[in-house]
């Protein structure tokens, strides 16, 4: 079982454009599995969704391909044993009793490798959704999925009962997933050495990487930045930034391309929602210089008056070697393969670095504002509340997280940063009793 994408404009020319960006499933013998492909169409077009929403979201092209991958894996499992007919399967016996253990062992995964619990949950959810859909459409008998009530943490703290969380229904047998801790972040000195090594060989990429580290933009958001999204340095007829921006010390930039979430078209990079980040003034000045002088020079070097060779599509960043936009994979390689690159340091860690530094910076400013110049006199409860407040009010909007729980992962890492920065005695004590040396005494 495999899937392929339709040829360019194949369905658009046949006046059925909604099918153009939907993967087509093909069996090993070359046959066309009607039920599976019908499911793919309804899932991809938002005509059916596993949840209970009246208007389910329309998956992006990448999400549709992920659905096809998981569905192919389930149908391959069904073909491994002749008796595994999905029309006769039950939830407890086949999905929980055979398919889930097979994914954990690697016997049912496409790669043959063992899968982590979080990945197994996604594959089980897809198989369950397909069988529920098939039962609703009459392709098989009723398919019952036992569910249980669980209480989860509320996504925001806007009311007095937010600490109680909310009750949701969860598929019975879903594996518990322990959130991955944040990676160990490099020091400012290590990041500085790495930045200098990138700048010596690829100054434009170094500027793009600095944009990620100092604004928290994702790699795709930074790489998909357009010229029109970066504001002009023009105020009242002169080349200067808006005085309000200068007072705040940053230039607001609205990201519309490459933002995580729904897209205006399945294969488009234009997102249905946007977010605004803050670019420090010194970085904005250098980006403006690149936009006005360096980028046009790079473009002229490779087009030489032939505008048909301009394939930049209004993209802000151009590669130094060919004068064209580069892929995320190439940027990832340039980031991780640079000299003096800290161990495990990658573009997504750049977002983590920005988030933790932002929390610590704002916390130190507020401590000074409230007269807490001596860390030993600062209440640990007040300091923790201050950190959590910075996460909710400042960090969540800048990072573009849908769930507050995702942003709250940065809180513990910020605690450790503050231990090094201000040496709070209560924080030092907590660090001591958690260490192995204390347990050995």
- At 263-279, the pLDDT tens digits run 887 778 888 888 888 89
User: CA 380 to CA 266: how far, in whole Å?
Assistant: 48
Task: Look at residue 24 in the predicted model and tell me its pLDDT.
Answer: 94
- Pair of tokens at residue 375: 């860390």
Per the confidence metrics, is the pTM higher than 0.85? no
Task: Look at residue 164 in the predicted model and tell me its pLDDT.
Answer: 56
Name the helix (H) or strand (E) containing 439: helix 436-440
336 contacts 346 by C-beta, under 8 angstroms: yes
123 contacts 116 by C-beta, under 8 angstroms: no
pLDDT of the chain, 441 residues: tens digit per residue: 899 999 988 887 778 888 999 999 999 888 999 999 999 999 998 888 887 665 667 888 888 999 999 999 999 999 887 777 899 999 999 999 999 999 999 888 877 888 888 899 999 999 999 999 999 999 999 999 888 877 665 544 444 444 455 667 778 888 877 665 666 778 889 999 999 999 999 999 999 999 999 998 989 999 999 999 999 998 888 889 999 999 989 999 999 998 887 788 777 888 888 888 889 999 999 999 999 999 999 888 877 656 666 778 889 999 888 888 899 999 999 999 999 999 889 998 888 888 777 766 666 666 666 665 555 555 555 555 666 666 655 556 666 655 555 655 666 666 666 655 555 444 443 443 344 433 333
Residue among 205, 434, 227 at smallest CA distance from 320: 205
Task: Look at residue 81 in the predicted model and tell me its pLDDT.
Answer: 76
User: CA 134 to CA 124: how far, in whole Å?
Assistant: 15
Task: Look at residue 101 in the predicted model and tell me its pLDDT.
Answer: 92
195 contacts 137 by C-beta, under 8 angstroms: no
Q: Which residue has the tokens 């030092």?
A: 428
Q: Where are the beta strands (DSSP E) in 246-399?
A: 250-257, 270-280
Q: What is the CATH number of domain 188-343?
A: 1.10.443
Q: Bridge partners of 269?
A: none
Phi, psi at residue 251, to the nearest 5°? Answer: -110, 125
Which alpha helices (DSSP H) does 15-174 contain, by range? 34-44, 61-80, 100-105, 117-136
What is the secondary structure of 10-58 as a DSSP string?
Answer: TTTTTT-GGGTTS-EEE-TTS---HHHHHHHHHHHTTS--SS--SSPPP
Question: Residue 346 burial by CB count (10 A; 0-12/13-18/19+): exposed, middle or buried?
Answer: middle
Greatest C-alpha distance within the chain:
77
- Pair of tokens at residue 370: 């409230």
190 contacts 168 by C-beta, under 8 angstroms: no
Task: Look at residue 68 in the predicted model and tell me its pLDDT.
Answer: 95
User: CA 345 to CA 186: how far, in whole Å?
Assistant: 8
221 contacts 258 by C-beta, under 8 angstroms: yes
Residues of the chain with CATH 1.10.443: 188-343
User: CA 223 to CA 76: how far, in whole Å?
Assistant: 37
User: CA 92 to CA 355: how far, in whole Å?
Assistant: 42
- Pair of tokens at residue 198: 């990138």
Q: Bridge partners of 226?
A: 315
User: CA 118 to CA 115: how far, in whole Å?
Assistant: 8
- Pair of tokens at residue 170: 């969860």
325 contacts 223 by C-beta, under 8 angstroms: yes
Reported residue count of the chain is 441
Residue among 218, 155, 228 at smallest CA distance from 406: 155
Task: Look at residue 3 in the predicted model and tell me its pLDDT.
Answer: 94
Q: What is the per-residue pLDDT across 75-106, written as a single tens digit (0 to 9) for each?
A: 999 988 777 789 999 999 999 999 999 999 98
Each residue of 370-399: b (16+ CB within 10 Å) or e? eebeebeebeeeebeebbbbbbeebbbebb
Q: Bridge partners of 279?
A: 251
Q: Bridge partners of 168?
A: 150
């Amino acid at each position: 079982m495999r899937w392929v994408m339709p040829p360019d404009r194949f369905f658009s020319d046949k006046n059925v454009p909604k099918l153009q960006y939907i993967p087509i499933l093909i069996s090993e013998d070359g046959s066309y599995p009607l039920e599976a492909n019908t499911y793919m169409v309804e899932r991809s077009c938002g005509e059916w969704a596993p949840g209970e929403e009246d208007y389910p979201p329309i998956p992006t092209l990448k999400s549709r391909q992920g659905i096809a991958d998981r569905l192919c894996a389930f149908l391959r499992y069904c073909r491994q044993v002749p008796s595994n007919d999905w029309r006769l399967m039950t939830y407890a016996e086949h999905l929980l009793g055979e398919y889930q253990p097979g994914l954990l062992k690697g016997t049912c995964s496409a790669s043959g490798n063992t899968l982590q619990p979080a990945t197994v949950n996604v594959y089980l959810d897809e198989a369950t959704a397909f069988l529920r859909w098939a039962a609703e459409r009459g392709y098989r008998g009723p398919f019952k999925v036992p569910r249980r009530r669980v209480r989860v943490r509320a996504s925001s703290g806007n009311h007095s009962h937010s600490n109680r969380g909310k009750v949701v229904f969860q598929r019975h047998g879903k594996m518990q997933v322990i959130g991955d801790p944040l990676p160990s972040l490099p020091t400012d000195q290590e990041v500085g050495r790495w930045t200098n090594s990138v700048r010596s060989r690829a100054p434009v990429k170094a500027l793009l990487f600095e944009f990620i580290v100092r604004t928290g933009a994702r790699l795709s958001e930074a790489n998909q930045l357009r010229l029109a999204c970066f504001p002009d340095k023009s105020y009242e007829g002169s080349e200067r930034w808006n005085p309000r921006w200068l007072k705040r010390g940053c230039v607001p930039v609205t990201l519309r391309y490459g933002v995580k979430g729904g897209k205006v078209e399945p294969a488009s990079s234009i997102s249905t929602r946007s977010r605004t980040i803050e670019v420090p003034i010194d970085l904005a000045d250098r980006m403006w210089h690149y936009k006005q002088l360096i980028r046009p020079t790079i473009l002229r070097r490779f087009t030489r008056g032939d505008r048909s060779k301009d394939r930049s599509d209004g993209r802000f960043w151009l590669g130094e070697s060919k004068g064209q936009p580069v892929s995320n994979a190439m940027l990832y390689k340039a980031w991780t393969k640079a000299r003096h690159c800290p161990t495990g340091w990658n573009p997504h860690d750049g977002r983590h670095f920005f988030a933790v530094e932002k929390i610590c910076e704002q916390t130190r400013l507020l401590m000074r504002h409230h007269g807490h110049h001596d860390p030993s006199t600062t209440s640990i409860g007040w300091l923790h509340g201050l950190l959590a407040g910075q996460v909710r009010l400042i960090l969540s909007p800048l990072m573009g997280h849908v769930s507050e729980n995702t942003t709250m992962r940065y809180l513990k890492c910020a605690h450790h940063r503050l231990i090094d920065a201000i040496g709070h005695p209560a924080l030092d004590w907590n660090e001591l009793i958690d260490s192995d040396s204390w347990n050995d005494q």
